[in-house]
């Protein structure tokens, strides 16, 4: 049953270990056959080295095992909830990869800081709210999936535009249309999580990626008019005359000097001056750190709110040498002499 899918899921699970995303048995890959509604998933707590396609477990969307000698992954109810909530996805990866889990344990989104992020995730990777006690005590694994679905619904996110979510205090879940792509998304998620740890240490001037650059990098790969990569079967037969004309045009535009092998663009003067990007803009939280408080100055009895300059003090004119001051006595001091007793009073009359 589903022999080809079992083989692909087994191979995808092994890729997790090979890519360094998991240690011990901390992770799993599943895939669904949408025609039958059956899910193939890794068996629980079986080492990745021992996995074979025959050891994969097949379950239905109710969680009942329909084929396999092993118990399915303990995360199976989470996978099933996601397959039911996100009908576009066909494969799910769960890991405890180090840096993505750091963000999950902190309960923080992974902010889109650059194009590496934007190539795969169309915006911040969200983190769920922590599960409450009731959700943990009653059907915990399925509620984990519901927490992810709820996060995407509340934030109005598309599951294919942002194919990953961090579960607060737990770890990442990633998905795609195929097991191979889901593992690739998990690898990229870990890499951008690693980068973001360092980015957030650069507090001065840190800004998220611009909307235009986010759009450009995501849509050129995933948009309706995507042009990243190869589209097999869509390349027309090469016209030899057109190829020769293009090669001649390229040779006319570029001259290689044999003496030093430098490349000179003949039309370089036509390139307009590129405006220098504005970087290192202070975050809003820093803007008022040194704001002068007029009220404090007024209370102190002087108006210092205007512009003023600090000038170095002139050196003092040479005068008499200063005598050293007497040091304060230190150590054990002698007790003061006792006062003489007063003469007795005469009360005789």
pLDDT value, residue 76: 95
Euclidean distance between the first and the last CA atom of the chain, given in angstroms as a whole number: 133
Q: Tell me if 155 is assigned to some domain.
A: yes
Segment 20-79, tens digit of pLDDT? 898 898 899 999 999 999 999 999 989 888 899 999 999 999 999 999 999 999 999 999
Residues 79/92, Cβ–Cβ less than 8 Å: yes
Residue 50 forms part of a structural domain: yes
Q: Is residue 321 part of a domain?
A: no
User: How many domains does the chain divide into?
Assistant: 1
Domain, as residue range, for 50: 3-217
Burial 288-325 (b: 16+ CB within 10 A, else e): eeeeeeeeeeeeeeeeeeeeeeeeeeeeeeeeeeeeee
Q: What are phi and psi of 5, to 5 degrees?
A: -65, -35
Q: How far apart are CA 334 and CA 189, in angstroms?
A: 77
pLDDT the model gives residue 262: 34
Query: Is 142 a residue whose pLDDT tops 70?
Result: yes
What span, in angstroms and rounded, lies between the C-alpha atoms of 202 and 15? 33
Query: Bridge partners of 88?
Result: none
Q: Which of 33, 70, 109, 119 is catalytic?
A: 119
Q: Is 150 a catalytic residue?
A: no
Phi, psi angles (nearest 5°) of residue 266: -70, -30
Tell me the helices (H) and strands (E) count for the chain, helix number first.
11, 9
Domain membership of residue 98 (yes or no) is: yes
The one catalytic residue in 228, 253, 293, 294 is: 228
Q: 65-67 and 91-95: which strand pairing?
A: unpaired
Which residues touch 105 (CB under 8 Å, ≥6 apart)? 168, 169, 170
DSSP 278: P
Q: Which of 176-190, 195-209, 212-226 has the highest mean pLDDT?
A: 176-190
Q: Does 343 reside within a domain?
A: no
Q: Is residue 264 part of a domain?
A: no
Residue 95, domain member (yes or no): yes
Q: Residue 191: count other Cβ atoms within 10 Å of its Cβ.
A: 16
pTM for the complete prediction?
Answer: 0.62
CB 86 within 8 A of CB 175: yes
Looking up residue 116, the CATH number of its domain turns out to be 3.40.225.10
Decide if 57 is inside a domain.
Answer: yes
- Look up 218 and say whether it is catalytic: no
């Amino acid at each position: 049953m589903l022999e080809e899918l079992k083989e692909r899921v087994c191979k995808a699970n092994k890729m997790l270990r090979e890519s360094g995303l998991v240690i011990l048995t901390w992770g799993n890959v599943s895939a669904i056959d949408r025609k039958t509604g059956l899910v193939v998933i890794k068996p629980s707590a079986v080492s990745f080295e021992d996995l074979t396609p025959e050891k994969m477990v097949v379950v239905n969307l109710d969680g009942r095992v329909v084929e396999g000698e092993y118990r399915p992954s303990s995360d199976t109810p989470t996978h099933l909830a996601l397959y039911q909530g996100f009908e576009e996805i066909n494969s799910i990866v769960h890991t405890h990869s180090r840096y993505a889990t750091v963000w999950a344990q902190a309960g923080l989104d992974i902010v889109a800081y650059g194009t590496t992020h934007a190539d795969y995730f169309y915006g911040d990777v969200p983190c769920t709210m922590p599960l409450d006690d009731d959700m943990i005590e009653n059907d915990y694994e399925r509620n984990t999936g519901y927490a992810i679905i709820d996060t995407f619904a509340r934030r109005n996110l598309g599951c294919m535009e942002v194919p990953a979510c961090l579960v607060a205090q737990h770890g990442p879940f990633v998905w795609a249309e195929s097991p191979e792509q889901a593992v690739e998304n998990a690898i990229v998620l870990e890499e951008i999580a690693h980068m973001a740890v360092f980015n957030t240490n650069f507090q001065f001037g840190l800004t998220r990626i611009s909307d235009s650059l986010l759009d450009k990098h995501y849509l050129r790969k995933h948009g309706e008019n995507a042009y990243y990569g190869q589209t097999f079967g869509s390349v027309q037969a090469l016209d030899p005359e057109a190829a020769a004309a293009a090669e001649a045009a390229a040779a006319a535009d570029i001259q290689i000097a044999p003496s030093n092998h430098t490349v000179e663009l003949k039309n370089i003067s036509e390139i307009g001056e590129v405006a220098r990007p504005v970087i290192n803009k202070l975050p809003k939280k820093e803007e008022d750190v040194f704001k002068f408080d007029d009220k404090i100055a007024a209370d102190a009895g002087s108006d210092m709110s205007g512009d003023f300059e600090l000038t170095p003090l002139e050196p003092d004119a040479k005068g008499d040498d200063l005598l050293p001051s007497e040091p304060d006595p230190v150590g054990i001091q002698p007790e003061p002499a006792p006062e003489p007793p007063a003469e007795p009073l005469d009360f005789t009359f």
